[in-house]
Every structure is written in C-alpha cells, then in structure tokens.
Amino acid sequence: MSAVAAVLSAVTHSPRGSDLPTCPVCADSMVAAEASAYLADNIISYLWTCDTCGYGFVTKHSLKRLVCN
C-alpha cells in the first residue's frame, strides 16, 4: 500500500502513552511509527502509516533538554 504523506504542523511534547495517533481517515489506532528522524533544534519526526487503509502522515515532537545540577 502506498502512503500519502501529510505533515502535521503541530509540535507536541510526548510521543508515548495516550498521545499515540489514530488514523485521520479510518480512525484506526496506531501503535508504532514506521520510521523516525532527528531534526535540528531537538525535534524528532515520526512517519506513521495506517495498516488498515494505507494513509500516511508525519508527526513532530520536541525534546526538552535535561539539566543536571
């Protein structure tokens, strides 16, 4: 199945837990991203592809720097 990539403009803070996406076309839940890439400024993008309908999209998540005392 081919996927049409659509970039979601929102930058969220956590790619885990209840923040896992659902397909905007068929509303099926997604468990794992197909691919990921580290971008500049501590941002990670994830490629999601729906197993049910084949729709694909990208999410972006910002990472916070840990500061040790």
Q: Give the pLDDT confidence score for residue 2 in this predicted structure.
A: 40
Residues 52-62, buried b or exposed e (16+ Cβ, 10 A)? eeebbbbbbbe
Q: Which domains does the chain have, with CATH numbers?
A: 7-62 (2.20.25)
Q: Specify the pTM.
A: 0.63
**Three-state SS for 68?**
coil
Task: State which amino acid sits at residue 38.
Answer: Y
pLDDT greater at residue 49 or residue 5: 49
What per-residue confidence (pLDDT) applies to 18?
57
pLDDT of 8: 45
6-60 pLDDT tens trace: 444 444 444 455 577 899 999 999 889 999 999 988 899 999 999 999 999 999 9
Distance, CA of 13 to CA of 28 (rounded, Å)? 22
